[in-house]
Homo-oligomer: A and B are copies of this chain.
Amino acid sequence: METVIPLFDGFTALDAVGPYEVLSRLPDNRVTFVAATVGPVRSDTGALALMADRPFAEVDQGDVLVVPGGPGTRRRVHDEELIGWIRAIDASTTWTTSVCTGAELLGAAGLLDGRSASTHWARTDQLTRWGARPSGQRVTVEGKIVTGAGVSAGIDMALFLVGQMAGQLVAESIQLGIEYDPQPPFRAGSPAAAGPDVEALVRAVTVPDPEG
């Protein structure tokens, strides 16, 4: 089994690395990071680059596709090389998935039209551009299309996928292997839990979207 994860400048690292950490532990599953060219790809903060080990041109199928999000997706919805690659890979997948605003890239590829989908809570309105209905759920399953909410939701989504592909025992062993027993020191993971002051602070530091 082959899992492919595309990278592009301005992706959010945890969007990609959360699912990678879970899916790479699935026996007989090879995870490959792919980009326009082989080499380091900078994440949104500029402080971290992940290596892409294969170019889009050489990867034409995958059993699982995981598309990360991040501020970089705003421009990438117009990147026909990336969007065309996502569309082509989707033709071969058992599961086509996204984390955070990676859903906008699935949308741009025409894969969310008329479907429910998850994305980052602050970007739900963007999904409607592509005909999708924001579900507000942590993970949304629409046939083989599975979309996760913001950033950290990729871990939950990947554990769901492992459960589907290999059963609950394997999924639980991976959860235990990464000791995923979350104990956040604060209760602020959703706008409702965080309250309006925290939500306003996050919206204030979020770069405005030039495309609305």
> From residue A100, how far is it (CB to closest CB) to chain B in Å?
8
CB contacts (< 8 Å) of A32 on chain B: these are 47
**B202 lies within 8 A of A176 (CB):** yes
Chain B residue nearest to A40 in the complex (CB): B51
With A186-B159, A186-B171, A190-B176 given, is the CB distance from A31 to B45 under 8 Å? Answer: yes
User: Which residues of B have CB within 8 Å of A21?
Assistant: 12-14, 151-152
- A17 closest partner in B (C-beta): B17
CB of B33 within 8 A of CB of A181, answer: no
The verdict on A186 contacting B168 (CB below 8 Å), with A21-B12, A49-B51 known, is: yes
Interface size class for chain A?
35 or more
Say what secondary structure dominates the interface of chain A: mixed
**B interface footprint on A150-184 (CB within 8 Å = 1, 0 otherwise):** 11110110011001000011011101111111111
**Sample of 15 A–B contacts (CB below 8 Å):** A20-B48, A21-B151, A24-B45, A24-B47, A31-B48, A32-B47, A40-B51, A49-B50, A138-B183, A152-B178, A156-B184, A169-B201, A175-B188, A176-B194, A177-B206
Q: Beyond A24-B48, A30-B47, A152-B178: 4 further Cβ-contacts under 8 Å?
A: A14-B17, A149-B179, A160-B185, A180-B184
